[in-house]
Each structure stands twice: as C-alpha cells, then as structure tokens.
Amino acid sequence: MSDDETLKVGAITVSDRASSGVYPDESGPAIEQWLTEALVTPFEVEKRIVPDEFDRIAETIVELTDDWGAQLVLTTGGTGPAVRDVTPEATLSVADREMPGFGERMRQISLQYVPTAILSRQVGALRGRSLIVNLPGSPKSIAEILDELFAAIPYCIELMDGPYVDTDPEVVEAFRP
C-alpha cells in the first residue's frame, strides 16, 4: 500500500493542564478511537498535546500539515469564551481559507445535547491540501460531533486531492454527491 492511499490525521489536544501533566490527555485518544471505529480506509494518527498558547497551536498545525503531510487535522479544546481559549484564532492565522459550514454544523449538533453550545467558537479551515477542524474538548462531545460531521469530511479531502476515505456506515456514512 502506498502512502498516498493512507489518510494522515493530526490530532492536537489543546490544554494547559494536560500539556503540563496535571491530568492525562483523554481527548486525543478519543479522536483516535473514534477514527478506528469509523474508518475502513487505512489511516495513521500523529498526536500532539500543547498548552493554550496561540503560537504553539499555530506552529503545531503547520508542522502537521506542511512537514508531516496530514490531510486532516482535528484539534480538541480551546474553543470556548475563556480568556486562554485561542484555538480558533490560531487555526485561522495559519489557514488559507475558512470553511464556515463546519463551525455552523458543529454548533447545530452540540445544541441537541447542551444549551451552552452557543458559547463554542469552533471553526473549520483549509491550509494547502489539509482540512483543519476544531472539535470540543470532551471525549463525549468529540464523538457526538464526529458521528454526524464526519459524513462531509471524506469528500472534502477527496476534493483536495487527498486519499479516498471510506467509512463504516454503521458509524457514519460518507456522503458523496
């Protein structure tokens, strides 16, 4: 199997406490577990844990997209109204184009579960041939979002000349027009 058939996914946990070892990262592993259950396509995940610092988040996105070649980067955490929540700003600072539908859809999905979803500032964006999506910080919310949102992600990756991504329809069915 060639590298161009394997989906490369960067998973960035943004958390001051997890990055300093105060508690273990549960969000990065939750992303990888969800992908393991949902994807039929071969994939590899490169995980990072960074503090809620604008430059560190932006640098890590650039490293995973430009240097490692991730076609998909999923961040988790740092998307609320707290002063140190800067993941959306860091994402947009290194993006070529915003994909507003991703943020809109994530808030719609989350509103089915919690009224505080309106406080979320998650974004989706493109950098080169990579899709970047800001997910919420809790493992439960990550699964709730990906269960619905991921239907649009394989086609987006395909449109950017990435690998064909196939899913297990028992988890989520990839939509292609």
Q: How far apart are CA 123 and CA 67, in angstroms?
A: 22
Q: Model-level pTM?
A: 0.96
Burial 77-107, CB ≥16 within 10 A → b, else e: bbbbeeeebbbbebbeebbeebbeebbebbb
Give the Å distances, CA to CA, from 58 to 19, 99, 136: 16, 17, 17
131-166 per-position pLDDT tens digit: 999 999 999 999 999 999 999 999 999 999 999 999
- Residue 48 in 3-state DSSP? strand
CATH label, 3-159, candidates 3.40.605.10, 3.40.980.10, 3.30.70.890, 3.40.50.300: 3.40.980.10
94-129 per-position pLDDT tens digit: 999 999 999 999 999 999 999 999 999 999 999 999
